[in-house]
Structures are given as structure tokens and as C-alpha cells.
Amino acid sequence: MSKLITSPTSRRGFFSGAAALAVGASLPAAGPVLAKAPLAGSQAPYFYRFALGQAEVSVVSDGPLPLGDPGSNFAGVSKEEVYKMLETNFLPKDNVVLEQNIPIVNFGDRLVMFDTGMGFSKAFGPTTGRLLKSMQEAGINPGDIDAIVCSHAHIDHIGGICSAEGKAHFPNAQIYLSQTDFDFWTDESKLGSPLKAFIEHARANLLPVRDRIVFFKDGQEFLPGVQAIAAPGHTFGHHIFLVSSGGKSFAFLGDLTHHAVLLLEKPLMEFAYDSDPKQAAQSRVKLLGMLAESKTPVMSYHFAWPGFGNLARAGEGFRYYPAPMQMLRG
């Protein structure tokens, strides 16, 4: 600028011209205003794609799952501290809303889906149960799913396998689950317990497809590119999965941690729906530590959409770094 405006006269001309522009900008525009438009009132389709080595991952959603008061669902610290942690991270403290992020991995020769959402149950409100709609938006036919991998048998993970009438939504899929969880959550003798709703929905979704259920074991690569890793506590048969293709991997966390702040900053906190909260916390600390140390990306079922990112140690816990969404793909 100093080379372009060299004389006092030219500098005065520049600033007087700028002032005139400012005055002109403050005058009302002539003619009608044409920029008005109605509010769209809609959102983008509920899916997101990214590459994993030679595979393609399509994350689809079963819809937001509102839990309610975080002070009643997360324990191990005072309610006041729970609310403060949320406020510090610019999150509402009156209601914790979890996403349901369902990755469908196209390995080239097969489509593998991880967990299935709430299905026909509205136990957590009307916003859940949109898996099939999200798949339609993503252009994925339920009949093309070859395998369904279940982290555990809770209602919000196996609820989308069958319709309310007992018809399989994914007629060509084999279903993979730990035998521990199958035996526990389909046990008819538990129907008279406080777990009744969970037992009913597990039976409604798993028993009609019993002949297509395959049990995996800890450490087993039960499908090419999919390895089971035991993470007990949330349920006794809960597992996470290492998903790999072409030298790239991520860990599907299932319900190892439900919240990107509360159960990461303080991983020894407890969650109301854990079968064994102490064991769940131990699994969380151990496995999150391994993933952070190895810098393995994570795909979280319940983190903010689309749930893909990385973990790092931070103080007594961990911090989640969401991966940038790549909206343009060559």
C-alpha cells in the first residue's frame, strides 16, 4: 500500500473516496428487496461416507436418543460436578441426548453393519427408529446387508433387527453376537425382573433369527477385517471391534463410553445402564488407553454425529477429537 499511495494528495483522495463509499453504504437501497426466502425447515440426509483403506464406510443414523437428566444417569461424582462438566463444554445440562451412529462397511465383497438402533421401540421417545429411512437416504438396500455385528444385546443396539411382527429387516444377513449376551438377554426367567423391557425386546429381535446367529469369541477375527475385543461391564458380553481394510483401521466402540465428555474426562464415572459399573469403568480405562496410545481412530455409537475421530490422554482421562468431515471425494 505504501508504494501505491505515495503522495499526500493521493492519500487524501483515497480516504475521501473510502468515506464516500461508507456514506453510500449507509443509504437505503433503491428498489425492492429481493433476498427474502422462506425458511427451509429441513436438514441434510442422515448419512456420511468416508474411505477406510480399500473399503467404504457409510455411517447412518437411527436418530437421536434423549436420556434425560444427566445427573440421574451418570454417577461417581456429584450432580453439580456433572452439570459443571457439561456447561464447561457448552452442552446443555438438563438433558443428555445421545446419537446412534451405525457404520455400514462395504469391503467390496460384503456389506457389514454394526448395531441396529432402537427399531420399533419408542422407550426413549419418537426420534429413534429411523435406521431404515437413513439407509434409504444413503441408497443402501436392507437386503444387501451380509452381516450384522452386535456389540451387545441392549434394546438400542439390537432393536432394529426385526419388525414388531417378528419379520427380519435384513433377510440375507448373518448376525454376530457374544453368546454371553444372547443367553443373558433372552433368558425367559428374567421377564419378572426390572430388566423386563430389555429382555422382551432382545427376545423379540433375536429369537426370530436364532438360526442365523453366530457367536464370536474375544480376540477372534470372525469376519475378514473384523476382530472382536472383549469389553465387559456395560453388559457381561459387551465387545468392541477392530475394523480394518488396506492397512487402515478404526475401533467401533459400541457402548464402551456413552459420552464424549462425561465418561472420557472422568472414565471411572459410572453409567446407570451398566450391568457392572465398576467392571465397565475398568474396561473403559484399559481399552481407551490402548486406543489412545496406538492412535487408532474410533467410531463411537453414541458420540455427536457422525461419531468418528481420535482419542488422546488428557489429565486423569481422555479427550475426543472429532475427525474433519470430508464432504468432497474424488
Question: Which of 197, 201, 225, 298 lies closest to 257 in space, CA to CA?
Answer: 298
Task: Give percent of the chain with pLDDT exceeding 70.
Answer: 89
Q: Using the 8-state DSSP alphabet, how is residue 286 labeled?
A: H
The whole-number pLDDT of residue 44 equals 87
Residue 54 covered by a domain? yes
Mean pLDDT of the chain: 92
Q: Kindly report, residue by residue over 262-291, the tens digit of the pLDDT.
A: 999 999 999 999 999 999 999 999 999 999
| 3-state DSSP assignment of residue 292 | helix
Q: Cα Rg for the chain, rounded, in angstroms?
A: 25
The whole-number pLDDT of residue 237 equals 98
pLDDT above 50 (res 158): yes
- Alpha carbon distances (Å) from 221 to 29, 92, 98, 224, 246: 68, 40, 29, 7, 16
Find out whether 153 and 237 touch, Cβ atoms under 8 Å: yes
pLDDT above 80 (res 35): no
More confident residue, 175 or 24: 175
Q: Kindly report, residue by residue over 161-210, the tens digit of the pLDDT.
A: 999 999 999 999 999 999 999 999 999 999 999 999 999 999 999 999 99
Rounded average pLDDT over 3-8 = 47
The whole-number pLDDT of residue 1 equals 45
More confident residue, 12 or 36: 36
Residue 156 covered by a domain? yes
Number of structural domains found in the chain? 1
Give 128's pLDDT tier (boundaries 50, 70, 90): very high
The whole-number pLDDT of residue 14 equals 47
- The model carries a pTM of 0.89
Residue 8 covered by a domain? no
CATH code for position 194: 3.60.15.10
Cα distance between residue 280 and residue 267, in whole Å = 9
Question: Which of 59, 206, 38 lies closest to 134 in space, CA to CA?
Answer: 59
What secondary structure does DSSP assign to 11-48, as a single string?
HHHHHHHHHHHHHHHHSPPSS--------------SEE
Residue 95 covered by a domain? yes
Rounded average pLDDT over 34-50 = 88
The whole-number pLDDT of residue 2 equals 43
Rounded average pLDDT over 117-134 = 97
Residue 247 covered by a domain? yes
Residue 22 covered by a domain? no
The whole-number pLDDT of residue 42 equals 87
Show the domain range for 248: 47-322
Give 37's pLDDT tier (boundaries 50, 70, 90): confident
Contacts of 95 (CB under 8 A, 6+ apart): 66, 67, 68, 69, 70
- Alpha carbon distances (Å) from 295 to 125, 128, 207, 290: 36, 32, 38, 8
Rounded average pLDDT over 124-148 = 98
Give 112's pLDDT tier (boundaries 50, 70, 90): very high
Q: Kindly report, residue by residue over 242-266, the tens digit of the pLDDT.
A: 999 999 999 999 999 999 999 999 9
Q: Using the 8-state DSSP alphabet, how is residue 212 labeled?
A: G
Residue 135 covered by a domain? yes
Residue 15 covered by a domain? no
